Structure 1
Amino acid sequence: MRLAILSGDAELTQLTSSTLGSEGCVCHHFATGSALLSALRRETFDLLVLDHALPDMNGVRVLNTIRAIISTQIPVIYVTSMRGERDEISALNAGADACLNRPLDAAVLRARASSVLRRARAVRLIHVDESDSAFEFDPVACSVLRNGTAIHLTVRQFRLALLFYQHIGTTLSREHILDLIWKGEAEVNMRTVDTQISRLRAKLRLAPENGYQLTSVHGCGYRLDRI
């Protein structure tokens, strides 16, 4: 899972990174609202943790911009001050999925993040189940069954296929894919990502004539669609 943390507070950033990083999240820190908004125009994340108090704008303004221009679907946990009831109401009205008050408790943060992501994943899976039942994933054999026929993949190709299937209809940035599938391997570059996706496309026959399309979205990343 790829996480963006927006906060100018080193203590909050450290607690969030260590708590959710221990759960397998790849964490990226942004100190200003403008830096996060700029990143969101070219990268994708599974979860955002937004602090209300920022050096350049408040978190509600950032959240309003995200929901209006960038994404209505990405889950957001909003962090307010201990007596930030007004900020909490504004954040929920702007589209926050959950709010937490300072000081953050690691166990509560972990539970809230799990709950928010579970709801987001359930929405994606409901969408997938309604639109497509052709693929079955076997993590033990590292294979994908398509209409009953097994297609054997490498471990990395299997994880790529599952990632796209779980995010069908959603554009994933190359950085997002690199973080989750290659997990920060130093020698990997974007050309490697493109090559592996091309091989996956060929193996699974993800072409319009077969009912699917795995396409490169210029300047953004890749998206799997059902045609």
Structure 2
Amino acid sequence: MLKILVVEDNPELAQAYRLALSQRGHDVQIEGTGAGGARAAIADEPDVVLLDLMLPDIDGFSVCRHIRQDSDVPIIMLTARDDDGDVIGGLDSGADDYVVKPVSPGVLEARIRAVVRSRQPAAQESAPATVLEYEGLRVDLGSLEVTRDGVELELSPNELRLLMVLLEHQGQVLSREQLLDRAWGTAAAGDLRLVNAAVQRLRQKIEADPAEPQLLRTVRGFGYRLG
């Protein structure tokens, strides 16, 4: 069970979040203002904060920066605005992730787990991961077998390395530079064309409709995100 703080001024939407997350076993606290949310995020020590961007008193960017002065709690920014400037602004203000509303309860739960998991020290992990999974995608780290909904996929080494990095950071936006460094290393430094080409090829193999990707998404002006 996680203690989740929802900072949302729309009562109906806030209660919908409460119901959906409570049904999944979480303890949900609601705050309707930015000032109240900032205080609760610091004083009540939640496990994760869901922070609306448009609040009646203080915008979400300012609330996020205020929280970051005193707390390292994972923050997921929620907004109805799918704008590159808002995405980048949210991440730059200290948010761990950025979710565009409306979002399904299952996807929201997965994003919450991802940001909480990313903050856990490696020493707390009971055993090294042997499998990476997301929405039917599965990579066996021992055999390097890749499957989608149980069907084996044939990936090139570049595609496999890229997919593994994305799976390790699912729900997080990674820049092309970050992907290049983590998937290819210093030998390919600066050649961002490798990332662009590998993303396009990977989509052809993992997406039901590569022209409308639902798994490997582009965050324009910033990078890519799995989930």
> TM-score, normalising length from structure 2?
0.51
Please name the residue that 1:120 is paired with: 119
Please name the residue that 2:70 is paired with: 70
For 1:75, the aligned partner's letter is: P
Deviation, 1:89, is 0.9
For 1:100, the aligned partner's letter is: V
The answer to whether the 8 Å contact 2:5/2:41 transfers is no
- Residue 54 of structure 2 aligns to a residue whose secondary structure is coil
Q: Distance in 2 between matches of 1:26 and 1:52?
A: 22
Please name the residue that 1:91 is paired with: 90
The answer to whether the 8 Å contact 2:3/2:47 transfers is yes
- Residue 83 of structure 1 aligns to a residue whose secondary structure is coil
Q: Does 1:101 align with 2:100?
A: yes
Q: Distance in 1 between matches of 2:123 and 2:93?
A: 22
Q: More relative contact order in 1 or in 2 (CA 8 Å, sep 6+)?
A: 1
- Same amino acid, percent of matched pairs: 28
Q: Distance in 1 between matches of 2:42 and 2:104?
A: 31
The answer to whether the 8 Å contact 2:61/2:93 transfers is yes
Deviation, 1:124, is 6.9
Please name the residue that 2:28 is paired with: 27
- Residue 40 of structure 1 aligns to a residue whose secondary structure is helix
> TM-score, normalising length from structure 1?
0.51
Q: Distance in 2 between matches of 1:75 and 1:62?
A: 13
For 1:125, the aligned partner's letter is: Q
- Residue 96 of structure 1 aligns to a residue whose secondary structure is coil
Deviations 1:174-226 (A, max 9, x none): xxxxxxxxxxxxxxxxxxxxxxxxxxxxxxxxxxxxxxxxxxxxxxxxxxxxx
Q: Distance in 2 between matches of 1:121 and 1:30?
A: 26
The answer to whether the 8 Å contact 1:21/1:27 transfers is yes
- Residue 120 of structure 2 aligns to a residue whose secondary structure is helix
The answer to whether the 8 Å contact 2:42/2:67 transfers is no
Q: Distance in 2 between matches of 1:87 and 1:31?
A: 21
Q: Distance in 1 between matches of 2:45 and 2:63?
A: 16
- Residue 112 of structure 1 aligns to a residue whose secondary structure is helix
For 1:63, the aligned partner's letter is: C
The two structures, once aligned, show a CA RMSD in angstroms of 2.2
Please name the residue that 2:17 is paired with: 16
Q: How many correspondences in the alignment?
A: 126
